């Protein structure tokens, strides 16, 4: 993650269980709503987009890895950097979406609504999935 020492940031270590996505979703919503108190208001539609991306990334980390993950958020210059770090070195791949609700849409959706999507290995053998979205009012 790019350091932005004077910008609002949030780090959250998440458990390896079904509560991870909900915790990440709640933390993201609270973080973005509190940005208004710092003079950086985020419109409700941008909060919804950020929460959707965070939910998808954390759900994928829990579903497709064998350990905990973490969430990092940084708000800067009307943009929100979202990083989800997990324990697996396996890169995410798009898969054929299923119309029965069993998945395949998340990675495609993220690529369509995020400004930037990248995946980098971590020194501990996992990976960091980075996205960036516009959140300026």
Q: Return the domain boundaries, the chain.
A: 11-92+104-134
Say whether pLDDT at 1 is over 60.
Answer: no
Sequence-separated contacts (24+) of 1-8 with Cβ below 8 Å: 1/72, 1/74, 1/81, 1/83, 1/128, 1/130, 2/74, 2/81, 4/74, 4/76, 7/74, 7/75, 7/76, 8/34, 8/35, 8/38, 8/40, 8/74, 8/75
pTM over 0.85: yes
Mean pLDDT along residues 65-78: 92
Q: Does an H or E element contain 13, and which?
A: strand 9-14
Average pLDDT, the chain: 88
Answer yes or no: is pLDDT of 2 > 80: no
% of the chain with per-residue pLDDT over 70: 88
Spatial CA neighbour of 78 closest among 25, 40, 121: 40
For the domain made up of 11-92+104-134, give the CATH fold.
Heat Shock Protein 90 (3.30.565)
Where does the pLDDT of residue 32 fall: very low under 50, low under 70, confident under 90, or very high at 90 and above?
very high
Residue-wise pLDDT tens digits, 42-65: 999 999 999 999 999 999 999 888
């Amino acid at each position: 993650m790019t350091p932005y020492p004077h910008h609002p940031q949030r780090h959250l270590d998440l458990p390896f269980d079904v509560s991870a996505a909900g915790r990440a979703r709640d933390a993201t919503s609270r973080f973005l709503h509190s940005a208004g108190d710092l003079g950086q208001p985020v419109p409700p539609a941008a909060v919804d987009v950020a929460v959707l991306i965070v939910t998808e990334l954390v759900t994928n980390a829990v579903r497709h890895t064998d350990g905990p993950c973490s969430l990092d958020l940084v708000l800067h210059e009307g943009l929100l950097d979202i990083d989800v770090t997990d324990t697996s070195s396996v890169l995410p791949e798009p898969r054929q979406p299923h119309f029965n609700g069993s998945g395949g849409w998340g990675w495609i959706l993220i690529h369509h609504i995020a400004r930037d999507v990248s995946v980098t290995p971590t020194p501990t053998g996992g990976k960091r999935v980075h996205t960036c979205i516009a959140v300026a009012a």
